[in-house]
């Protein structure tokens, strides 16, 4: 699996297994131990995809952030969190069955609980092309049926 994502990285329970525990550290400090069906770490580009469907925020493409959005969390007080793009995120996942799924822009793989993950911004950027009048705000209004 390619180690780079443009949109999102999703950590998910596998199959019909029960929830997973995802211990998240940001910049070496414990953030939270999520008990959920998963966690989506999204870029602004990916914020309108899986992140949005799990209740995460829409993020304009020029924002220099990532968002951590839990999937079907088992606590009402846990909400998506927006962090600076240069923060380093470390994950340790525990599952009742000893494995979980990671999806990197839709490319999925099963990993064992012994595999810890490190996520950080790549050292390079990607340039996107805008065609005509189709910009982010126009796309949002059209696709979300805002103002209709």
**Per-residue pLDDT reduced to its tens digit, 95-142:** 999 999 999 999 999 999 999 999 999 998 888 787 777 788 888 998
Using DSSP's 3-state secondary structure scheme, residue 139 falls into: helix
C-beta separation of 67 from 56 below 8 A: yes
pTM across the whole model: 0.92
Query: In whole angstroms, what is the distance from residue 46 CA to residue 82 CA?
Result: 13
Which is the CATH superfamily of the domain at 8-143? Probable inorganic polyphosphate/atp-NAD kinase; domain 2 (2.60.200.30)
More confidently predicted of 31 and 130: 31
| Domain coordinates in residue numbering, the chain | 8-143
């Amino acid at each position: 699996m390619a180690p780079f994502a443009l949109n999102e990285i999703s950590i998910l329970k596998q199959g019909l297994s029960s929830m997973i525990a995802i211990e998240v550290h940001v910049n070496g400090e414990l953030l939270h131990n999520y008990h959920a069906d998963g966690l989506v770490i999204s870029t602004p580009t990916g914020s309108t995809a899986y992140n949005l469907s799990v209740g995460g925020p829409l993020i304009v493409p020029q924002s220099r952030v990532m968002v951590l959005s839990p999937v079907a969390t088992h606590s009402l007080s846990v909400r998506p969190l927006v962090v600076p793009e240069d923060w380093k995120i470390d994950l340790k996942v525990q599952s009742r069955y000893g494995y979980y799924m990671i999806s990197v822009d839709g490319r999925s793989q099963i990993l064992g609980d012994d595999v810890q993950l490190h996520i950080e911004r790549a050292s390079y950027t990607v340039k996107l092309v805008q065609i005509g009048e189709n910009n982010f705000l126009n796309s949002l209004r059209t696709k979300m049926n805002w103002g209709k």
